[in-house]
Amino acid sequence: MSKPMTKTQLVAALAEEMEVDKKAATTALDAVCGLITREVAGGGAVTLPGVGKIYCRERPERMVRNPATGEQFKKDADKVVKMTIAKALKDSVNG
């Protein structure tokens, strides 16, 4: 398995794909990330066509166990960010 693409590598590839300089690509990437963050944090969802859907899901209060000590305790309800992958991306990965 190869290393994940870094932000610098992503910006360089985006700049090349958009035929703009790296500063403009960084601004575009930061804007998209900011929009996704605000929408999901506000309880909404964002669909990236061909990639997937990013959304926030609430988890109820539950009992959990500390694996080191075996102690059980109650964990408060919280929220978790989830992503479902688009069929187009799955198909392209699986060939």
Domain regions of the chain by residue span: 1-42, 47-95
Provide the pLDDT for residue 87. Answer: 95
Mean pLDDT on 48-69: 95
Rounded CA-CA distance 58/66 in Å is 22
Q: Are 59 and 77 a contacting pair, CB within 8 Å?
A: yes
Mean pLDDT of the chain: 95
- Nearest Cα residue to 11 out of 1, 23, 3: 23
pTM, rounded to two decimals: 0.79
Q: Is the pLDDT score of 65 beyond 90?
A: yes
Q: Which CATH architecture has domain 47-95?
A: Irregular (4.10)
Q: Which residues contact 20 (CB under 8 A, 6 or more apart)?
A: 28
